[in-house]
């Protein structure tokens, strides 16, 4: 190891409503530090730009352009995680702005082949500038779990769990309607990005569906909440992302909407449900719980995720990439 030092940054309003991006920065910093590369997250505890060998910036959001300009002004190599998934084409002005950013960064890092393909469908990528580094999952998700933590907060166990900010793109309302049909307990973790949609979800939910605010990434409470669920359900229009990998490593069955990201990460070893039908989703949940192939699918998903996304595997891959680019 050559003692590289990196500063992890993002756009200024990223955590006005906390979501998956915060968890990602925490876990990337964690695996870099345990892989021999000093990593700080930008904030009051970080050092001046001059201390670092490079900047790792998360997102192509316009509010982050000033951070990228500052890193460029100080001649720091920039490793950019775009962290965007477009369900419809971005405007030409947005494409032009992003291509301007790409022109000044050293490398673009994508967490999956499907994310890279989605991005490159709309934005031109120079040859050799993009690398795929799969999402990592913190070692903490392998630690023993205090099951009582979740029951003290949720007042339930054996529930359907959905992680993520409540907003239309995440499609929680269909899951609530499916749980109403099944009479099944549910726990939704992540708070609200869309207040009107959140109110509708709460109003339609039966009395044993619990809504929790943001829970600290990788925390003992989050791990307990995952451990106590019967099934993880994420039927979002976006890829479910890191939370599904965390559930897989904790050996939880998962139901999700079909899509290229999902197939890349889980193949046929999860249960797929149409995202636009509460009745079909309820049928899939009921069927998954009675599936004779349940244990094999869970074990296959666990082994696949451990081999591709464990902190040991990804920490080594990311550290080698940064060190090779520095030489």
Pick the CATH number of 5-136+310-326 from 3.40.50.300, 3.20.20.70, 3.40.50.2000, 3.60.20.10: 3.40.50.2000
Half-sphere exposure of 167 (CA within 13 A, CB side): 12
Q: Cα(first)–Cα(last) distance of the chain, in Å?
A: 12
Consecutive H or E run containing 232: strand 229-234
In this chain, the answer to whether the domains covering 5-136+310-326 and 140-308 adopt an identical fold is: yes
Cα–Cα distance between 225 and 236 in angstroms, integer?
Answer: 20
Kindly report the three-state secondary structure assignment for every residue of 183-200: CCCEEEECCECCHHHHHH
- Tell me which residue of 91, 135, 88, 87 sits closest to 109, measured CA to CA: 135
For residues 228 and 210, the answer to whether their CB atoms sit within 8 Å is no
The vertex-293 CA angle with 288 and 297, nearest 5°, equals 85
Per-residue pLDDT, 18: 59
Per-residue pLDDT, 1: 43
Per-residue pLDDT, 326: 65
User: 263: which residues sit within 8 A by CB, 6+ positions away?
Assistant: none
| β-bridge pairing 271-272 and 130-132 | unpaired
Half-sphere exposure of 2 (CA within 13 A, CB side): 12
Pick the CATH number of 140-308 from 3.90.400.10, 3.40.50.620, 2.30.110.10, 3.40.50.2000: 3.40.50.2000
User: Alpha helix (H) ranges present in 183-259?
Assistant: 195-204, 220-227, 242-249
User: Alpha helix (H) ranges present in the chain?
Assistant: 20-34, 65-73, 92-102, 113-120, 147-154, 172-182, 195-204, 220-227, 242-249, 260-266, 278-289, 294-309, 311-326
Per-residue pLDDT, 171: 94
Cα–Cα distance between 297 and 117 in angstroms, integer?
Answer: 27
- Tell me which residue of 37, 85, 41, 90 sits closest to 59, measured CA to CA: 85
For residues 233 and 243, the answer to whether their CB atoms sit within 8 Å is no
Cα–Cα distance between 123 and 112 in angstroms, integer?
Answer: 16
Question: Tens-digit pLDDT profile for the chain (327 aa)?
Answer: 468 999 999 987 767 665 556 678 888 999 999 999 999 999 999 999 999 999 999 999 999 999 999 999 999 999 999 999 999 999 999 999 999 999 999 999 999 999 999 999 999 999 999 999 999 898 899 999 999 999 888 887 789 999 988 999 999 999 999 999 999 999 999 888 899 999 999 999 999 999 998 888 889 999 999 999 999 999 998 898 889 999 999 999 999 999 999 999 999 999 999 999 999 999 999 999 999 999 999 999 999 999 999 988 999 999 999 988 765
Residue 44 Cα to chain centre, angstroms: 25
Q: pTM score > 0.85 for this model?
A: yes
Q: Where are the domains of the chain?
A: 5-136+310-326, 140-308
Cα–Cα distance between 253 and 97 in angstroms, integer?
Answer: 40
For residues 210 and 267, the answer to whether their CB atoms sit within 8 Å is no
Backbone dihedral region of 239: left (phi > 0), alpha (psi from -120 to 50 degrees) or beta?
A: beta
């Amino acid at each position: 190891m050559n003692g590289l030092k990196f500063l992890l940054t993002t756009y200024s309003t990223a955590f006005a409503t906390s979501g998956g991006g915060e968890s990602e920065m925490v876990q990337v910093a964690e695996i870099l530090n345990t892989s021999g590369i000093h990593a700080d997250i930008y904030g009051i505890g970080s050092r001046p730009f001059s201390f670092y060998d490079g900047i790792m910036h998360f997102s192509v959001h316009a509010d982050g352009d000033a951070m990228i300009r500052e890193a460029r002004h100080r001649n720091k190599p920039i490793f950019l995680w775009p962290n965007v998934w477009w369900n419809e084409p971005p405007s030409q002005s947005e494409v032009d702005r992003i291509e301007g950013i790409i022109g000044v960064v050293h490398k673009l890092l994508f967490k999956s082949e499907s994310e890279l393909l989605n991005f490159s469908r709309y934005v031109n990528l120079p040859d050799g500038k993009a690398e795929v580094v799969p999402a990592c999952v913190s070692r903490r998700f392998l630690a023993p779990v205090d099951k009582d933590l979740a029951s003290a907060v949720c007042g339930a166990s054996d529930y359907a769990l959905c992680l993520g900010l409540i907003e239309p793109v995440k499609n929680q309302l269909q899951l609530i309607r499916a749980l109403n049909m099944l009479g099944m307990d549910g726990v939704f973790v992540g708070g609200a990005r869309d207040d009107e949609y959140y109110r509708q979800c709460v109003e339609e939910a039966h009395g044993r569906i619990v809504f929790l605010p943001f829970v600290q990434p990788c925390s003992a409470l989050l791990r307990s909440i995952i451990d106590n669920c019967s099934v993880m359900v994420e039927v979002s229009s976006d890829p479910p992302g890191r939370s599904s990998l965390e559930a897989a490593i904790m050996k939880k069955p998962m139901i999700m909407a079909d899509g290229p990201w999902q197939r890349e990460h889980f193949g046929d070893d999860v249960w797929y449900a149409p995202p636009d039908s509460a009745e079909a989703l309820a049928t899939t949940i009921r069927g998954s719980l009675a599936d004779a192939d349940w244990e094999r699918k869970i074990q296959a998903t666990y082994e696949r995720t451990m081999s591709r996304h464990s902190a040991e595997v990804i920490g080594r891959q990311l550290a080698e990439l940064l060190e090779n680019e520095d030489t």
